[in-house]
Amino acid sequence: MREIKGTTKVCGLIGNPVAHSISPLIHNHLAEFENIDLAYVTFKVESSKVAEAVKGAYELNVFGLNVTVPHKNEVINALVDIDPLARDIGAVNTLVRAKGGFKGYNTDILGFQRQLIDANIELMGNDVIIIGAGGAARAIVFLCGQEGANSIYILNRTLENAQQLAKDVNKALDINVAIGMKIEDYNLLPNKQFITIQTTSVGLHPNDDCAPIENLDFYDKVSVGVDIIYNPTKTKFMKLVESKEKIAYNGLKMLLYQGVCAFELWNETKVSEDIIMHVYELMKKELNLVE
């Protein structure tokens, strides 16, 4: 067990709830394997206290913070600086100490990008479907636009939310490739093969037998599927993709890589792939996930 000393850097997670978080496992093991004197803990923070919590953390010399639901938007008002992409997305999940306060980043998008690289999924020049239009979808749509996707179709239950997200990303990145649609209108999609990314909570355990789109015909259009859910390890969406003999991935590596990206920002380091994969195996063991 590592010794906690007066010189130990303290990092943590703010959100509500936070008791279930696997982030301490990720960061404390990264610190151990990288031989960095750092301890990571969780802080439950009420929505009305976010600004006070961030200011207090700075005054207490907290080295860095992660931010989870429901504070990823609200925390922006408590920052002294923000990464431009995080500002465009409208969500921050990592705070790095700066002069007079914290600077905000979105490592969710960085983590997802690294998962795609790991899976050899190329966004540039390809057509993409995003299922959902919530916070996670927003970050991923911005990534697809930034990486030069040929088209981005956002399928969502509420048409207005999908259209607003498409409008936001097109305007922010000065492109015209994002299109919002109602999810039940998927049959109107062009006859192409799409990288398909599932960002909703449909299929999350214990609702393992649900998928956002049940009709098998839809999956003829899928070239490769990515579900940001990691429990269950194989969602029904993934099973439907695989029924068409296509490859599908879950979201566990996105969770891992967003943590790795935050850790690297805090410590100005680059974590080796061997250590990353070691932590990945520990995560699977902790969550009782079997591939």
Binding-site positions for shikimate: 21-23, 68, 93, 108, 230, 258
Binding-site residues from annotation for NADP(+): 132-136, 228, 251
With contact defined as beta carbons under 8 Å apart, do 229 and 287 qualify?
A: no
With contact defined as beta carbons under 8 Å apart, do 189 and 195 qualify?
A: no
Secondary element (H or E) of residue 271: none
Helix and strand counts by DSSP (H, E) for the chain: 9, 12
Q: Look up 9 and say whether it is catalytic.
A: no
With contact defined as beta carbons under 8 Å apart, do 106 and 92 qualify?
A: yes
With contact defined as beta carbons under 8 Å apart, do 67 and 15 qualify?
A: yes
Q: What is the widest separation between alpha-carbon atoms in the chain? A: 61
- List the one residue out of 93, 85, 77 whose CA is nearest residue 21: 93
Q: Which of 9, 44, 55, 72 is catalytic?
A: 72
What does the block give as tokens for 218?
């839809």
Contacts of range 67-71, beta carbons closer than 8 Å, 24 or more positions apart: 67/13, 67/14, 67/15, 67/92, 67/93, 67/94, 67/95, 68/13, 68/14, 68/15, 68/18, 68/21, 68/23, 68/93, 69/15, 69/16, 69/135, 70/15, 70/16, 71/14, 71/15, 71/16, 71/45, 71/47
Catalytic residue IDs: 72
